[in-house]
Amino acid sequence: MNWNFDNSYSRLSDVFKEHIEPIAVKNPELVLMNKDLVEELNLDFSKIDKNVLAALFTGNILPEGSNAIAQAYAGHQFGHFTMLGDGRAVLIGEHLTKNNERYDIQFKGSGKTAFSRNGDGRAALGPMLREYIISEAMHHLNIPSTRSLAVAKTGEEIMRETPLQGAILTRVASSHIRVGTFQYVAARNKKDELEILLNYVIKRHYPKLINSNNKALDLLNVLIDKQIDLVVNWMRVGFIHGVMNTDNMTISGETIDYGPCAFMDTYDPKTVFSSIDKMGRYAYCNQPAITKWNLSRFAECLIPFIDQDENKAVKSATEIIETFGKKYEEKWLKMMRTKLGLLGEDNKDKFLIVDLLTWMHQNKADYTNTFCHLMNLKDYDDELYKDDNFQKWKKNWLERLKLNNNTQENYTKLMRSVNPLVIPRNHKIENALEKANDSNLKPFNKLLEILKAPYELQENISDYLKMDTSFKDYKTFCGT
């Protein structure tokens, strides 16, 4: 199998985790395995019996060298601080590839831990398959993300609103350390423990900062850039995370925890898909502001290491956090220019971009397809784009495209590099999950295959390009 475990996090003090074995399941059955990722991790399961694989990916047997733990963390959930932890997840170890890249291998849905509170620690097949397909879609959209290695059924029913099939997802990440991990340790008021975590994170993720004169301040700076890049990418493809609590913001800058997430179809900045987000806290348009809010909570944890004088430390941290707005706007504008194929900068660009988004909002245009239409792709023609106001806007856009010696070949190539032709459409995801629950994986695998090449013109996929208007009031759920 070639597992190569080096479990550095589990060697930290027990403050940070609980040693625990996954709880055995009755009748494990492998549903799917990510062969591409298996290869990337330098693993080889080709000679392993399918029953052994099913036992492996449900935690009934653990690979040699693993060391299972549940990680402790806290989180501001919808603004309210709570002490949390892996309530239904077990990190079995850190696998090193041939290139010395380190990846957490984690089971999600593997049973109760010390952090489960009143939960059963289990997960249902639908939400695990949902995380599998959306996390893989994000990876192929070139957006930093946790990935999915396998889904296996447990052979047990779990109770939610109705009885559901139990399942376990094997999740892969460069780490599962979160803003909430720092919050958990900071809440204990033990500076030495916080320092251990700070040094560990820098050594693992940002080794260039090891000799920094102010590690905490530099880490904050790096993380602001990382998180801005991430959320700008989300905005680029119309992705709505749905539950941007501080325990769902990784220190590595990867998208994590695909619960009530979805991709926007009709452009509306206030779009919310999550059934639990009653006030729209995590709506599409609020994602940048929430990112800044979460980073402010991270900065609070680092105060003891920024300066011995607390007032000076708060001032320094605040100054850095306040760079967020300008940095975000610059990166967002750059991203939107690329989506529109614009070279260089022009002081009217922001108006051009905002005018298009306003038109899309007023006319209920499809976000993804509007940019595909602008790339002259025939499958994306729609009567809507014959609208006079759109045609006026398009004339201004075509004039702007002429600046800086731009050519049609240049701007088309630029646009095609960032505008997906296909996204995980909500109705397609739901249809695939519904069929998978009845043991028919064909629609799921077909959708998965199409989402592997989101920027390429693929044959016979017109059925995957349009929104389904019957999904107007679509709601997603956490699956806990």
Average pLDDT over residues 32-52: 95
Q: What is the pLDDT of residue 116?
A: 80
> Which pLDDT score is estimated for 473?
67
Asked if 1 contacts 53 with a C-beta cutoff of 8 angstroms, the reply is no
Q: What is the pLDDT of residue 69?
A: 97
User: Above 80 in pLDDT, residue 463?
Assistant: yes
| Averaged pLDDT for residues 43-63 | 95
Distance between CA 425 and CA 432 in Å, rounded? 11
293 vs 479, higher pLDDT: 293
Average pLDDT of 135-155?
A: 98
Mean of pLDDT values over 397-421: 95
Residue spans of alpha helices (H) in 78-144: 125-140
When the pLDDT of each residue in the chain is averaged and rounded to a whole number, the result is: 94
Beta strand 262-263 pairing with 239-240 = antiparallel
Which residue numbers are catalytic?
247
Distance, CA of 103 to CA of 205 (rounded, Å): 11
DSSP string, 136-174: HHHHHTT--B-EEEEEEEEEEEEESSSEEEEEEEEEEES
pLDDT at 120: 87
The predicted-structure confidence for 158-208, as pLDDT tens digits, reads as follows 988 889 999 999 999 999 999 999 999 999 999 999 999 999 999 999 999
Closest CA to 207 of 227, 222, 224, 228: 222
Nearest CA to 108 out of 95, 119, 122 is that of 122
On the question of pLDDT at 319 being above 60, the answer is yes
Look at residue 355 and tell me whether its pLDDT is greater than 90: yes
Q: What residue segments make up the domains of the chain, in order of their start?
A: 9-176, 177-421+465-480
Percent of the chain with pLDDT over 90: 87
Looking at the DSSP assignment, which residues form a beta bridge with residue 166?
A: 124
Mean pLDDT is lowest, of 32-46, 154-168, 323-337, for: 154-168
Q: How far apart are CA 205 and CA 224, in angstroms?
A: 14
Q: Is the pLDDT of residue 20 over 80?
A: yes
Q: What is the pLDDT of residue 368?
A: 97
**Euclidean distance between CA atoms 239 and 255, whole angstroms:** 11
In degrees, rounded to 5, the angle at the alpha carbon of residue 68 between the alpha carbons of residues 66 and 73 is 135
- Over residues 203-219, mean pLDDT: 97
Segment 271-303, tens digit of pLDDT: 998 777 878 899 999 999 999 999 999 999 999
Locate tokens 């609070």: which residue? Answer: 300
pTM of the model: 0.96
What's the average model confidence in pLDDT over 22-38?
95
Q: How confident is the model at residue 83 (pLDDT cuts 50, 70, 90)?
A: confident
First-to-final CA distance of the chain: 32
As a whole number of angstroms, the distance between CA 365 and CA 380 comes to 12
Which residues of 223-307 form beta strands (DSSP E)? 239-240, 262-263
Residue 468 pLDDT exceeds 90: no
Distances (CA, A) of 154 to 52, 70, 367, 438: 13, 20, 39, 15
DSSP codes, 449-471: HHTT-TTS--TT-GGGSS--GGG
Reported as a pLDDT band with limits 50, 70 and 90, residue 479 is: low
384: phi then psi, degrees, rounded to nearest 5? -55, -35
Q: Of 424, 134, 143, 465, which Cα lies nearest the Cα of 264?
A: 424
Task: Tell me the mean pLDDT in the region 386-409.
Answer: 95
Whether the predicted pLDDT of 472 surpasses 70: no
Q: Given this model, what pLDDT does residue 119 score? A: 82
